Structure 1
Amino acid sequence: MIGATRRFLLTGVLALGLMGCAAKGPVGPNGDPTERLSIFTASGEHHFWVEIADTEPKRQRGLMFRPPLEDDRGMLFEWPGEPAREQSFWMRNTPSSLDIIYIDPQGKIVSIAAHATPFSEAPIPSNGPANGVLELRAGRADEIGAKPGDKVVHSYFKP
């Protein structure tokens, strides 16, 4: 009887642990957890699993040396505690083209740099203050109809 009770409890603990992991989202290629992010466009709501780049080392590394992103994946760059400012990204050591979406503190898309050139070191400006930057597979922003002014929902942005 004690063995059966232990097996039951162990099974329950494992199931709870797995449910907790599933709620966080799939793991990225580098083993980093992902979080849910949604973009609301004229064509509807579009969901993505994003890795978070919220420290200087993570922001510096970004998606360098990585294979192309899947349709539902991305990376969200955050600057916690810092005000929105003009941002500028480049594609150094990034082998696949990306859409770079600049976002203001309320989650409104400021601008979109579509199909950024792989390996380019040319600066890609936000053309307005932003404190979030979302990178998606090249062409994905156009596929979902994303435009400046559309809403991005994630816990980082304050409505």
Structure 2
Amino acid sequence: MIRAAVLWLAMAGAAASADCRDDLVEFRWDGGQARFTVEVADDEGERAQGLMHREALAASAGMLFVYERTQEAAFWMENTLIPLDMIFIDETGRVTRVHENARPLDRTPIPSGGPIRYVLEINGGLAARIGIAPGAVMRHPAVDQALSAWPCG
């Protein structure tokens, strides 16, 4: 079950938690920060299911897809009932691409646009509203801390 938590802080210099948790992702970029409570999909079955058949997603929630290795990936919205933003993230935790407002029930592939290691799905249109764009960095314990652009600690 997705749990709602603190959504985002859209102010420069806002303090963020130094502790990383499996159920929380944090982002920062020039001028803002965001925080989402997440479910982690880190095996083939969980990634295949994703957010299909859900009728709603809390504004502060998302699903983090974690791959075993850096690779190109593609998503589609078959059996997904709500519009989603897909935030593609490299092995260092840096956002490389944001696909906004993926259409529910659409089978058109949505490519990562290059090698990625993580994808965060959140409510459609939210990334643009709060400022998440390529160059933002994500913090989560799944990111190899030796490579992380924003390590836990």
- Confirm or deny a common fold (TM above 0.5): yes
* CA offsets 1:20-45 (integer angstroms, 9 cap, x no match): xxxxxxx428xxxx701101123322
1:157 is matched with which residue? Answer: 143
Q: Which runs of 5+ in 1 are unaligned?
A: 1-26
% identical equivalent positions: 37
The 2-side partners of 1:42 and 1:149 are apart by 9
- Asked if 1:46 corresponds to 2:46, the answer is no
Does the 8 A contact of 1:97 with 1:117 survive in 2?
Answer: yes
- Alignment partner of 2:52 out of 49, 64, 72: 64
- Asked if 1:90 corresponds to 2:67, the answer is no
* Number of equivalenced pairs: 127
Does the 8 A contact of 2:97 with 2:112 survive in 1?
Answer: yes
Higher relative contact order (CA 8 A, sep 6+): 2
* CA offsets 1:130-153 (integer angstroms, 9 cap, x no match): 010100000110111011111011
- Alignment partner of 2:24 out of 36, 40, 44: 36
TM-score (norm 2): 0.79
2:151 is matched with which residue? Answer: none
Question: After TM superposition, what 4+ stretches of structure 1 lie above 4 angstroms from structure 2?
Answer: none
- Asked if 1:110 corresponds to 2:84, the answer is no
Does the 8 A contact of 1:99 with 1:116 survive in 2?
Answer: yes
2:67 is matched with which residue? Answer: 79
Does the 8 A contact of 1:112 with 1:148 survive in 2?
Answer: yes
Does the 8 A contact of 1:42 with 1:145 survive in 2?
Answer: no
- Asked if 1:143 corresponds to 2:117, the answer is no
Over the residues paired in the alignment, what is the CA RMSD in angstroms? 1.3
| Higher-helix-fraction structure | 1
Q: Which runs of 5+ in 2 are unaligned?
A: 4-21, 149-153
The 1-side partners of 2:141 and 2:55 are apart by 27
